[in-house]
Amino acid sequence: MPRVNFPEEGMQASVPSGSDLQEIAQKHPHLPFKFGCRQGQCGVCALKVLEGMENLTQRSENELKTLQSKQLDLTHRLACQCALNGDVSLARCCVSNHRATEITE
């Protein structure tokens, strides 16, 4: 089973292949996912993909527009808009109304 890893928080989980990240967040509430609209609009769920971008489903036009509006580059994904088929390492972001910054703790 693929692994979702948040190395900065030392948190991880094994999940079924094909799971979307909203399902994973629901089944593994210890993982530091955060959601707002759940429709690819607000950017609150943005994550930096440290490893395994190729293991996430493709971006939609809607996701691309939201990432651009938050000044996030293509190393980022919206957790509410993708599923995974292999291991990924992720880092949280902090999104304001206009832009996002990565959280470094």
Q: How far is the CB of 44 from ligand FES (least distance, A)?
A: 5
Q: How far is the CB of 80 from ligand FES (least distance, A)?
A: 3
Q: And the tokens for 11?
A: 């948190």
Between 14 and 71, CB nearer to ligand FES: 71
List of residues 6+ apart from 59 with CB closer than 8 A: 67, 77, 81, 82
Q: Can you give the binding site for ligand FES, defined by CB under 6 A?
A: 35-38, 40-45, 66, 78, 80
Between 14 and 99, CB nearer to ligand FES: 99
List of residues 6+ apart from 41 with CB closer than 8 A: 62, 66
Q: How far is the CB of 41 from ligand FES (least distance, A)?
A: 5
Between 2 and 43, CB nearer to ligand FES: 43
Query: What distances in angstroms separate CA 26 from CA 19, 29, 33, 62, 68, one per listed residue?
Result: 11, 6, 9, 23, 27
